[in-house]
Chain A
Amino acid sequence: MSAGHVLVIEDDQWFLSLVKKTLERNEFIVATAGNIIEGMAEINKGVPDVIILDFFMPGPNALVLLHELQSYGDTAEVPVVLCTNNASDIPRDAISAYGVVSILDKTTMHPEDIAAAVRRAI
């Protein structure tokens, strides 16, 4: 039995593969997307338990997806973990209203912090 379904949206392929490995080692089932558009397509296939989301990516940024998630009843409650190089610049109060339950700083986090954040979110 899996620990939950996680969608990781991250444009850096190498970072994405590290996150995927960590989550799979923690028995999560992981879907991945390289940008927001691909992420939306993955969500259309099946709503995940948690979304790990980079902030700035080629094409639309995270705000577009956060807004989109809030627009539908079946996605508004999906917890989102932001994982970004700019964590210290993200206004936590403003973003928590959009389903963001935690913000991880890529520059300081430990790989296992991802799994811990997902467990907390679920």
Chain B
Amino acid sequence: MEGLRQQTNRLEGVVPTAPSFVAAAHELKSPLALVRQLALHLESGEVSSSELQEVAHRITLTSERALRLTTDITKSSRLEDSLFSLEPLNPIVLCQEVVDEMRPLYAAHGRTIVLTSRARSLLALANRDLLRRILLNFVDNALHYSDEGPVTITASLRDGGSYIRLSVRDYGPALPSTMRKNVGQKSVGMHSRPESSGLGIYIARQFANAMQATIGATSHHDGATFYVDIGTSSQLRLL
């Protein structure tokens, strides 16, 4: 059993110190294998007309998930060569866009995603595309690695308004303490959920670093919160 456990630990620790081909391949296996099984189901010819549309929809959503990951990986690999402009943006609007984008995937799994805000006027200084991708990553993880219940995105002002926290709360297995410590650090070993390579979190952290933001995680007895902290725009402070 010890040998098996070591092998399991190796598999769970497939996370690299950089988004290697191995980690990317590992992470892409799940959606691709599912797309293949769904397609084989269609090929079998034993699909009712009412089920046909549902299976096709699942193929679409699952392949979109794989494509999101491949886009993140390619973007992540080019981060060091690129400059990312920061712009004042309303994070609530951005969060709503993420909710709207992911709602069909959540609905297809019988789940819900909601947005709450604890502040009226927020203006963040961030790169819109990178921040959107961080949130998509958190929301995607929350769907696939939590059990049930709604997933909530919350935007709130912190530290007297010096920064904004966008958090994604899910209800699933609690995070290991090592994961909480590592999520915002350069060292890895942060496979938040056992079947995840942690590549998504690694990439989210890279995106955050590229725009002077930080990410982190909080464990709850019934789930987890992943968050990104971003600076407020000075335009807000002038208001």
Known A56-B194, A63-B5, A91-B7; contact A34-B147, beta-carbon cutoff 8 A: yes
Interface: B45 (CB within 8 A): no
Chain B binding site: helix, strand, loop or mixed by DSSP?
Answer: helix
Known A57-B194, A110-B40; contact A85-B30, beta-carbon cutoff 8 A: yes
Q: In the complex, which residues of chain B have a beta carbon less than 8 angstroms from the beta carbon of A98? A: 1, 4
Contact A107 B1 (CB under 8 A): no
Q: In the complex, which residues of chain A have a beta carbon less than 8 angstroms from the beta carbon of B12? A: 56, 61
Contact A12 B34 (CB under 8 A): yes
Q: How far is the CA of A7 from the CA of B224 in the complex (A)?
A: 29
Q: In the complex, which residues of chain B have a beta carbon less than 8 angstroms from the beta carbon of A57? A: 194-195
Interface bits A52-86 vs B (CB < 8 Å: 1, else 0):
00011111010100010000000000000000011
Q: In the complex, which residues of chain B have a beta carbon less than 8 angstroms from the beta carbon of A121? A: none
Residues of B at under 8 Å CB distance from A?
1, 3-5, 7-8, 10-12, 29-30, 32-34, 36-38, 40-41, 44, 46, 58, 62, 109-110, 144-147, 172-173, 193-195
Least CB distance from B166 to A in Å reads 23
Q: In the complex, which residues of chain B have a beta carbon less than 8 angstroms from the beta carbon of A21? A: 41
Known A85-B30, A86-B11; contact A56-B195, beta-carbon cutoff 8 A: yes
Least CB distance from A63 to B in Å reads 6
Complex partner residue of B4 from A14, A34, A94, A110, CB under 8 angstroms: A94
Complex partner residue of B7 from A12, A25, A94, CB under 8 angstroms: A94
Complex partner residue of B194 from A12, A14, A59, CB under 8 angstroms: A59
Q: In the complex, which residues of chain B have a beta carbon less than 8 angstroms from the beta carbon of A106? A: 29, 33, 37
Interface: A47 (CB within 8 A): no
Interface bits A93-104 vs B (CB < 8 Å: 1, else 0):
011001000000
Interface: A90 (CB within 8 A): yes
13 additional A-B pairs beyond A15-B33, A63-B5, beta carbons within 8 Å, are A12-B144, A55-B8, A56-B194, A57-B194, A58-B193, A86-B29, A90-B7, A91-B3, A98-B1, A106-B29, A107-B36, A111-B40, A111-B44
- Between-chain CB contacts (< 8 Å), 11 pairs: A11-B195, A14-B34, A59-B172, A59-B194, A61-B12, A85-B29, A85-B30, A85-B33, A94-B3, A95-B4, A106-B29
